[in-house]
Amino acid sequence: MEEYQAQMKALSEKLLGIMFKSLGLAQDDIKWLHSKTNHHPPQVVLQLNSYPACPDPAHAMGLAPHTDSSLITLLHQSSNATGLQISGDGGNLWIPVNPIPGALTVNVGDLMHIATNGQFKTALHRAVVNRTRHRVSMAYFYGTPQEVKISPPMKLVDVDHPLLYQPVTWKEYLDAKGKYFNRALEFIKCEALFIADRCRQL
């Protein structure tokens, strides 16, 4: 487990570097990502999941629809059964993500959605149980250092892309997610946007 987590950490940091670079961001724009001090290490979680076979999957819940709160999630799923599904239109259409032997699935999380001003969008997904096969998965969640506030760099903000979110730490965001669940991103919208959205709903 320790060796697996070490490799997932290195891979996560490499992938994040590539993703931020693809948006034209330099290391100075995301200094928190490159912090190597013991005072501000990234927060990571390894979650092991077991989904026993169920003869009537319609009456069993694997994992309810949700988005990950992390920057990114690296998922290894057993190759003998499909269970992961991603939403194509906000939860009305579910598309299976079939496992590929030797490959990982990468989910964009809420913090990445915030940090990129919505350019990398968080992925709504769920897990369903299989009728005849036991499924296991290992989800490695890579997040920000505990005290670091995440907000979109100004390089990603212009007339066509207004600033969407207020600065927030992962803990603050988890508190909002615990209260508002999948509406947490709406809760931390910049005040002007939040007010405008509320006015449109009235």
Residues assigned a catalytic role? 135
**C-alpha closest to that of 25 among 151, 153, 111, 117:** 153
Give the gyration radius of the chain's Cα atoms: 18
Per the CB < 8 A criterion, the answer to whether 126 and 62 are in contact is yes
Print burial letters for 130-155: b (CB count within 10 Å at least 16), e (below 16). Answer: beeeebebbbbbbbbbeebebbbbee
Distance (Å, whole) CA 53 – CA 129: 6
Q: What is the DSSP code (8-state) at residue 160?
A: S
Coil, helix or strand at residue 127: strand
CA dihedral (122, 126, 64, 50) positive or negative: negative
